[in-house]
Every structure is written in C-alpha cells, then in structure tokens.
Structure 1
C-alpha cells in the first residue's frame, strides 16, 4: 500500500476499500513535492551537510584510529572508552545545551551547526570500526615500510588506507546515512528552508488541517532510493568492513 500512495490521489487513500490498481494513475505527488514544496532545496542541503560530515568523519576518524592502532599511545583503550562514551548520551539530553551553544556562537540556521554536531555523533563509530580494521593488518607491514624509509604519514596514506578500503566505505556510508536521516538536531538548529535538511523539510509538508500522505510518500521514496542503491552497490565492502574488524588473526 505504501507504493500505491505514490501514484494515486489522496482521496483514494481514505476510501473504505482501497484498490490495488491506481485509478486514476497520477504523478501529482512528485510535482507537489518538488515544485510546490521545494523538495530539491532540502535535498541539496542534505547533500552538502552529509557529504561534509562524511569527509570530516573519515579524515578525523582515520587519523585517530591510526594513531591509536599503530603508534605508541599510552592508555589507548581508555581513550577509546572515552570516545565510545560520547555516543552513549541520548540525543534529547544534548539538544538543549547544544542549541544554546550554537545560538551563542551565531551558528543557528547554518550548515556548520549541523556538520559539527553530526561529526560528534558519527566520529565514535567511525573511529572504532577503523581501529578494529587497522588492528587486523599485520604489523610486519609497518616494519617493512620503515625499512624502506616510509614515514608515518606515508605509512597511513600509501599503505594503511588503501588496504582499508572496505572499512572506509563502510564507515563513510554509515556516517552519510546518519547525517542524511537525522531529524532532531536539524529541527532544533534550523528554522528556514535555506538550511533545513530532508527530514525537516518533509515534516513541513503537513499543516494544521491536512496531512498530504501522497506528497510525503513520494518525497520519502525519492530520498530513500539513493541510499538503497548505495548500500546494494557497496554491499560486499560493507560486509567485509564490518566483519573483518572483529577478526583478530
């Protein structure tokens, strides 16, 4: 029935006996979502925020995981526990204090407020998954690289990261999906369509007197299909990235 919502009129959805064959067949909901409600603006905002969040999570997370895994860092497991503890706080308990901070810094209704927040949300998972994967790589690689005169930066950039492609793909997709679907902070930190992301934009489709179920279903389908395609396309890397990090040879 959810699929039928996309191609039939709203009045057909409330009839006593729904039909499996849309009559009439219509693409009106897609027109309403994009033309009347400006879905493309929300998609663009989500793309900017999600891509920036993903890039920063991979950069910072890979550096942190590399340092904790391959360098001599005292108390590294304690540091990992602290990083993990950040993700244990419920979002509803954080939204108030973070809103006040964003307001004081003049970051409300900006991409930066969302990117910084999503970076804090996604970084613990990215760091832990990458750390687990880096730990499975043999230490002999490090010794061989040092004997060839490769420095720490070269070891990370030319050896560790290329060998960790499945884990990078996995964590990148997880960070992207987290930022793409997040609703609470986006709702709290943005109040105009110039900075609102897809979840908030779709929530704004409704009004006090009417819920356009067809428009909501059409918009939800448009923003969900790309995620499904990405996951299916990178399925092999995702499975390898999530499982390999849990295997210690």
Structure 2
C-alpha cells in the first residue's frame, strides 16, 4: 500500500510538472498581453500586472489587420482540410483494404513525403504557383497545403481502416452492398472518431503553417495569421503587447474546438492501436 501511494504521488508530480511546462508559455503570453509597455520592461520584472490593461487587444482590433488575417487563416485551413479529407478518406480505405502490386511501396512513398523539410519544397511550390499566376492568392496556399495534409490524413486513417472487422463487411456483402456501399454505409460511419482526429491535426497543420504562407503571399488581403504575427517584429522595434494579444486571440478557436471534440479525439486516437 505504501509503495502504491508513492507511485501515485510520483505520477501526480510528473503530471504537474508536465502541465506547468506545457501551460507556462500560454500563461506568460497572456500576462504579457495585459501589461503596459512600462510594465513589460520594468526592473525587477512585473509578473502579474497591476493594473492590467486591454489596450493591446483594442489596438489590434482597431487596426483591422487581425480580422483580415483571421479570416484568411480560417478560409485556407477549412477549405484545405475539407478537400484533403474528401480525397484522403477513400485513399486510406483503398490502401487498407486492397492489395495489389507495389501497393506497399506506394503507401510508403506517400508517407515518406511527410519527411521532407518544408524548406525543400518551398522553391518548387513557388515556381509552380508563379507559372500558374497564383502568387499572392489564398488558392495558392490551399493547393500547397493539400498534399501536405493528405499524407497526414492517410497515415492516421489507414491504420484504423485496416483494423475494421472483416465480418462486418462480409455481412454487408450478404445484404447486397457493393464496394461503394460498404465504404459509405459501413466504413465511413465507423471511422468518424478517427476522421475527427485526422481533421483536427490536418486543420492545425494549415492553421499554424508559416513558411509557405510567407513565401506565397504578399499583402494583408491574402496573408494568414502566422505571417501577420511575424509582422510585429520590425527592424527598429518588437511590438510584444500586440504580438501577445494576437496570439491569445488566435488560439481561442482551436482550444474551444479541441475541448468540444475531446471525447471523440480520445476514442479516435486509440482506434486501430490494437492487434486482432
């Protein structure tokens, strides 16, 4: 009993330390966002501002840039995620359920593209978008993000589809369902938790992407939030207050969505993790 209590105490201490490590940047960013310029650079440092201020939040809203960057980020992330899911779900099912010559090599090749550093793909994508006349458009980002998100979705969903019981599909065949029917009426409904996880990771990949957004966009009308936040670092000054306030507002939609989808995420993350 004594050893059990010690092990539980050690586990709680580890969880607390990990929580502090993960939450500290968010807490520090929030505290910075409600400090005045004087409080930010005060010596000794001011940890909790008194009085607090919302002037940085008011400033970024009044400038109008925040709304533009947020709208662009939402558009690019949502559209690219929906399109990549539309292609990735049937592709994952095909890789999992149908074997043909070189199918294993093809799957490995698709997943291997995820290992390329984004900087390696930057020049080819830039040249392609320039030839298509899509530089400084949201469409350029959507097209660029599609293959990057697609590999992530296939990697997540292929393992889940592979673990679907064969008996369910055999029963569906007896009921007269063909390949498309089995996919739409059996595989897709059963895979919704895993699809939810794939969609969240895919959305976050586009939501937080910086390099391609910086390379392929030029103006406020098309730039996404990561590029907008980087704009607060100038040659002569870094606007810490505005940067922190923008960062806090930018993560709120993702946090809310993750909290709402938490149960489905846990179920989806454990799906396909067991062997038959």
Higher mean displacement: 177-186 or 138-147: 138-147
Q: Distance in 2 between matches of 1:244 and 1:25?
A: 45
Matched, 1:245 2:265: no
3-state SS in 2 of match to 1:178: helix
Q: 1:235 Cα deviation (Å)?
A: 2.2
Question: Which residue of 2 is the match for residue 109 of structure 1?
Answer: 136
Question: Which residue of 2 is the match for residue 75 of structure 1?
Answer: 102
> Contact (CA 8 Å) 2:29, 2:248: kept in 1 or not?
no
Residues 117-148 of structure 1, C-alpha deviations (whole Å, 9 max, x = no match) = 11111111210211100011111122211221
The one of 209, 216, 229 equivalent to 1:202 is 229
The one of 48, 51, 74 equivalent to 2:75 is 48
Long gaps (5+) in structure 2: 1-27
3-state SS in 2 of match to 1:191: coil
Q: Distance in 1 between matches of 2:96 and 2:50?
A: 60
Matched, 1:183 2:210: yes
The one of 93, 98, 101 equivalent to 1:66 is 93
> Contact (CA 8 Å) 1:49, 1:115: kept in 2 or not?
yes
Q: 1:198 Cα deviation (Å)?
A: 0.6
Matched, 1:19 2:46: yes
Q: 1:179 Cα deviation (Å)?
A: 0.2
Higher mean displacement: 205-214 or 162-171: 205-214
Q: What is the TM-score with the length of structure 2 in the denominator? A: 0.86
Question: Which residue of 2 is the match for residue 2 of structure 1?
Answer: 29
Q: 1:18 Cα deviation (Å)?
A: 2.5
Q: Distance in 1 between matches of 2:83 and 2:100?
A: 23
Question: Which residue of 2 is the match for residue 132 of structure 1?
Answer: 159
Question: Larger Rg: 1 or 2?
Answer: 2
Higher mean displacement: 140-149 or 124-133: 140-149
Q: 1:109 Cα deviation (Å)?
A: 1.0
Q: Distance in 2 between matches of 1:156 and 1:195?
A: 37
Long gaps (5+) in structure 1: none
3-state SS in 1 of match to 2:94: helix
Greater fraction helix: 2
Paired residues, number: 249
> Contact (CA 8 Å) 1:37, 1:205: kept in 2 or not?
no
Question: Which residue of 2 is the match for residue 161 of structure 1?
Answer: 188
Q: Distance in 1 between matches of 2:93 and 2:47?
A: 54
Distance 1:76 1:246, change over 3 A: farther
The one of 242, 258, 276 equivalent to 1:231 is 258
Question: Which residue of 2 is the match for residue 98 of structure 1?
Answer: 125
Q: Distance in 2 between matches of 1:21 and 1:203?
A: 25
The one of 231, 238, 242 equivalent to 1:215 is 242
> Contact (CA 8 Å) 1:186, 1:196: kept in 2 or not?
yes
3-state SS in 1 of match to 2:29: coil
Q: CA RMSD in A?
A: 1.5
Q: What is the TM-score with the length of structure 1 in the denominator? A: 0.95
